[in-house]
Amino acid sequence: MQTPKTHAALKPSVILLTFIATLGGLLFGYDSAVISGVVHSLRVVFVDPQHLSPDAAASSLGVIVSSALIGCIIGALSGAWVSTRLGRKRGLIIAAVLFLVSSLGSSMPELGFAALGSAGPAYYWNFVVYRILGGIGIGLASMLSPMYIAEIAPARVRGNLVAWNQMAIVIGVVGVYFVNYGIARASGTDNDTWINATGWRYMLASCTIPSALFLILLTFVPETPRYLMLKGREADARRVLDRLGTPEETEHELTEIRASLAEHHSGKLFSFGALVVVVGILLSAFQQFVGINVVIYYAPEIFKSMGLGTNTSLLQTVIIGIVNMLFTLVAIFTVDRWGRKSLQIVGAIVMAAAMFGLGLDLTLGDKGLMALAFMLLFCAGFSMSWGPVVWVLLSEIYPNQIRGKGMAVAVAAQWISDYLVSWSFPILKDNPTLQAHFNGGFPYFIYSGMGVLAAIFMWKLVPETKGRTLEEMEHLWLKKSPPRE
């Protein structure tokens, strides 16, 4: 069945629901990147007093910085059960509550155990637990926000609307960079003393404001029509679709969803073959293995290693965030015109070149404007491709009956990959032997190689999904999988 050809304007309800759902993406970016402003403080408050060896200290810092990612893995893996049993809307509400609890708890890890202001190594694991709770919220939101948008969006603009979730992530990252910079400047000095004593708490607590807003707005959104159809509530699904599109689109969507659910698939993860599962996992893994979150989490520390002051380093991260925003707009306005594959391949090549240049520049001991230029080029390549487009693809490639499970596995793979990269980066960068030979540039060569592999993977294995309905994707994978009994 062909998708209805219509140029009707989007209804305001689609835009409003997309905006509310993208707040999950904003919190994803905000809560992930807020750690960038407090890395040095976490080292001073929780790690240095333990008097560990250099390698052990680097590992301990890697654990506390990336602790939220453990929660992200848990959140992503539980996302299939949450999205199927509780629904997309309730899952997002749970995520909002976890964001709120985590932001308050991580800013006051000694709360309930000692007087406020006495945080130190004794509360290392308290901090880690609160960050894990926030990570569970991130894991849920990272899966459910793009899924919610994809399931309420007309096929003709689905790529564009899902890509706005990545813009929200970027806005969250940029927003927290501005917040961290503003809090750092509140001390009136360009040193770490006030931030290490008090400022880091304000940075982490700032997430409570967008978390509360998200929680309030979610009470007004409907459940998605595809979830309602999965639960046998066709009348409710029709009412939601009527609010979202034209009568022609409503009938088309209902017919296709009804037909896809009528076919007797087991609903097991591999019901449509292994390829769709492998593609989802590799999309997620490569998105992280190219090194994006090294830039997000460690940018201020990278700039400080170049001899810049604290405030200047935080200002540089704001510049990176602005570049991310501008090039995410490129993806938003081209993903439904140029297609997913071309953007992904071009972006992977740009990122590989930028990371190789950055690694070489650091190895040669430059650490100046050229290094910043390579970081900005990398961010531009990522933001126009693997940042937003991976989420578009993940929200599109899975048939209705396995979408929750497929996205849960893929997003869990993404956070596992993110954890490995974030935990290993300080070890690879600060290892004395590697430092002596590469001057901190070694990990960037690894990320460059991953960019090359990502481009080859997109070229060889990933189908173009532009313009296809979610139900049409089912037939695409069935053609690629072996016949079933």
pLDDT digits (tens, 9 = 90+) for 67-83: 887 888 899 888 888 98
The overall pTM is greater than 0.85? no
Q: If you compute the radius of gyration of the chain from its CA atoms, what whole number of angstroms results?
A: 22
Q: How far apart are CA 216 and CA 97, in angstroms?
A: 10
Q: How far apart are CA 260 and CA 71, in angstroms?
A: 33
Amino acid 253: pLDDT: 80
Amino acid 264: pLDDT: 47
Q: How far apart are CA 203 and CA 185, in angstroms?
A: 12
Q: Give the relative orientation of helices 88-107 and 208-218 as an angle to the nearest 10 degrees.
A: 160
Q: Give the relative orientation of helices 292-305 and 12-33 as an angle to the nearest 10 degrees.
A: 40
Amino acid 322: pLDDT: 81
Q: Which residues contact 407 (CB under 8 A, 6 or more apart)?
A: 79, 80, 83, 143, 147, 280, 394, 395, 398
The closest alpha carbon to 50, from 120, 126, 3, 116, belongs to: 120
Q: Which residues contact 249 (CB under 8 A, 6 or more apart)?
A: 4, 6, 154, 241
The closest alpha carbon to 386, from 298, 446, 338, 458, belongs to: 458
Contact call for residues 95 and 144 (beta carbons, < 8 A):
yes
Long-range contacts formed by 7-12: CB under 8 A, 24+ apart = 8/245, 8/246, 10/154, 10/157, 11/243, 11/244, 11/245
Contact call for residues 441 and 81 (beta carbons, < 8 A):
no
Q: How many CB atoms lie within 10 A of CB 432?
A: 9
Residue-wise pLDDT for 423-459, tens only, equals: 788 778 777 787 778 877 888 999 999 999 999 999 9
The closest alpha carbon to 348, from 297, 292, 421, belongs to: 292
Amino acid 313: pLDDT: 59
3-class secondary-structure state, position 118: coil
At residue 71, φ and ψ (nearest 5 deg) are -65, -35
Give me the amino acid identity at 370. M
Amino acid 2: pLDDT: 46
Contact call for residues 183 and 199 (beta carbons, < 8 A):
yes
The closest alpha carbon to 388, from 25, 5, 42, belongs to: 25
Give the end-to-end CA distance of the chain in Å, rounded to a whole number.
Answer: 25
Domains in the chain: ranges and CATH: 12-221+263-480 (1.20.1250.20)
Q: Which residues of the chain have pLDDT under 70?
A: 1-8, 187-191, 260-267, 296-317, 366-368, 467-473, 476-485
